[in-house]
Chains A and B, each alone.
Chain A
Amino acid sequence: MKSGEKSKIFRRSILDGVSFALFVSVILSLIFNPTDEELLNLELISIIFFGAMLAGAVLSHVLNIAGYKTFGENLFEPAYVKAQSEAKAWYNTFWGWHLFTTILVLFIVGIFKSKFSMYELLDEDGFEGAKRLFKGIFSPNWAVLPAAVMNIIETVFMAFMATILAIPFAFILSFTAAKNIMKHPAAYSFYMFIRTLLNVTRSIEALVWAIIFSVWVGIGPFAGMLALMIHSIASLTKQYSEMVETVSEGPIEGVQSCGASKLQTIWFAIVPQVMLPYISFTVYRWDINVRMATIIGLVGGGGIGTMLIKYQGQAMWPEVGTIIVVIAAVVWIMDQASAYIREALK
């Protein structure tokens, strides 16, 4: 069996298994109607869920052998098989109904889980509260404008420093995270290590990094900057290294044929090819960092976010309104400026 076939069956089994386990869980909770207390029994719940998932994987295998193409099979089958299969309307296929039922069940469960309620949305008391809030926000208190401007400047610089300090790290790491450079077996294991490290770092939200650093270095813009920097290094390295992987081979061969060393080859054949996209990604990262810096301020990362959470906690809506106006203006300006700069760099 080819490895592609194996990984297809693996993915299909997980997807179909999860979908079947979902059906089983819903049916079981309809029959037994468990209390909240009973639902906290994680051990039992996991046994039921993963058991159902396993059964689902087996069922999916049986169905596919019997000629009923499940959603998992249809999604993960190789492109050439997809291209050969005849086009049918979704309601004439087994996988179509499988997908439809899954989404429908997910939607119904979602309504309960998110406590979706038209009643709450249109409740008179709640509506009055919202009206008060909007009234406050739409009559901003301009007295806090100077403080808001000072704080947003702090936020912008926090984002700027995070971006600038991330560049050298990301620049160097990007080459070690590019498959076409790290071909040698020893280099490849280092590449795998860096990739894993980056993925783990990126999967921890900047918000979480901010919480960590606000304990480490104390609440304030420094903590926010460090959090954004860690996140920027991981994101920029990924974007940079993807650019390195798409460079054209010609100049590399040309420079190598002159007897260039590895470092010379990277510097003269690869760097000129990736420079413009690097700058473009970096400008965009600064733009993203300004927006993230605002959010990070909410958990003690300093800047405008910290100011916002302070006034929000005291329900001082006119002041909150001023802050929102300032944030919106700066985010809009950054967004436009970065778009124009990136356009010019193409």
Chain B
Amino acid sequence: MARPPFRLGIREKLLLVLTVFLAIPWLGYAYVQEVERVLREAQQRTLAGTAQAVATALHDRPALFARPLGSDGTGAGEAAGAAEIEAILLGLSRTTARIFVVDRQANVIARVGTLQRPEPAENPSPQGAARVAAWFERNVVHPLYALLLAQPTEDFSDDFLGRPLPFAKEVDRALAGILTVDRRTSRDGRVGIVAAAHPVWAGDSVEGAVVVEETTNAVLAQRNRAFERLFTLVLALTLAGATALTVFASRLSSRIRRLRDEVEQAIDAKGRVRRIAAGSTAGDEIGDLSRSFTSVLSRLAESVSHREALASRLSHELRTPIAVVRSSLDNLQGDAVSAGAHVYVERAQGGLDRLAQILTRMSEATRLEQSIGEAEFERLDLAELVRGCVEGYRSAYAPRKFVVVAPAEAIAMRGAPDLLAQMLDKLVANAVEFGVPARPIEVRVERAGGVARVSVANEGPPLPAALADRLFESMTSVRDEAHRGGATPHLGLGLYIVRLVAEAHGGSAHAENRVGTSGVVVVVALPVA
């Protein structure tokens, strides 16, 4: 059977299926994005809360914002309450937040805290396997994730001197009395900053505003950690799954391959069927397959042996009635029968002879199998044997022409000369029958390496494609109606006998169409010794 040019094994297909798992990291990424959003909102709420708390502490204390008039009358001097505001701010400040207080003119009158977070304290150095894991995480996993995710950094600067304030917009809105939360990036653009501005009320008027700022680093770090954990887990699971599937698929495909190999070899050269051992005890589908192969093959073997036994049994069963007819006819001939009756007796005997011949042919293969079992192999010269046989065919099939191509030197091999001659008889009988009578039959014997090739070629119709594989089986005949019913009966055993003899000598036989001219050549390859 033709095999598809491009083949994917079970293992490859399962691994292809496994690529579906690659969607999981993407899902994880979407999930982490969501987490980040929630965290950001929480951060914004916290900042807004802080800003409100600070502003509440400063409410209704306009004195704090009162400014001693400077010499230029613009109030450029330090606000009188600045020190007190800072004291209040310090009390409310968070380690990672920067808090500003501005007056109505958006002048910063107090600031506390820094955006930079303190370096996390170094963990106590881990021991043993944990150390390897930590090293692996630091040197392999982190750099890998750094490629995928923005990493929070504390190395940035957001210092500003003078105006415009980086949070001018928020301050404007806060001074207008609206709590504002907004995001921006640091001056150098390296980190994101969230700022919340809250108005400070004195009665009904806005005295100033509190601005609380924080970097998004904490959120980023949490997001990254969540992503890393998820991704590592998914990666580990995917790898474990892939490994398990690969092992499983390899085992599966090797079992199927073993089964296939055994099935292919289940029918040996003599057409006998061997039991299939692979998977025969397995409880799964492969076991079922193996068992059903065994049962199909044994049924096949039964039918093959039945077909072969049928011939010899029929021949045996029919001999007795034939003997009845023949002895009756012989007796009839012995009696004085009239001349008219004599003709019919003769005809009946002619038919009986043909019937007996059919029976003999039917059991020929069985008898040949027996004689193969008893055959004595001897050293012989195949070239001489072929030449001798062809001499015989020239007289037996006269006036048919035979061309023999045989090397002058001997082709020595071990074999049973009688069997080989019988094989050649069958090959030539076949060629004579199917060949064009006017054209010679070519018998060729040659040695190629360790193999002697005997071929018999005739010119005539090519082989029917449908039967090409089965020609050498028992009782296969390519004869059409025109060829049937001739003087000599045909049972399709000729090439089967050829095969039996070839295989008894450790060789093989095959038939092919001739190249160039229309016709058939049957080639028997025999090992030489």
Binding partners A and B: no
Give the B-binding residues of A (Cβ under 8 A): none
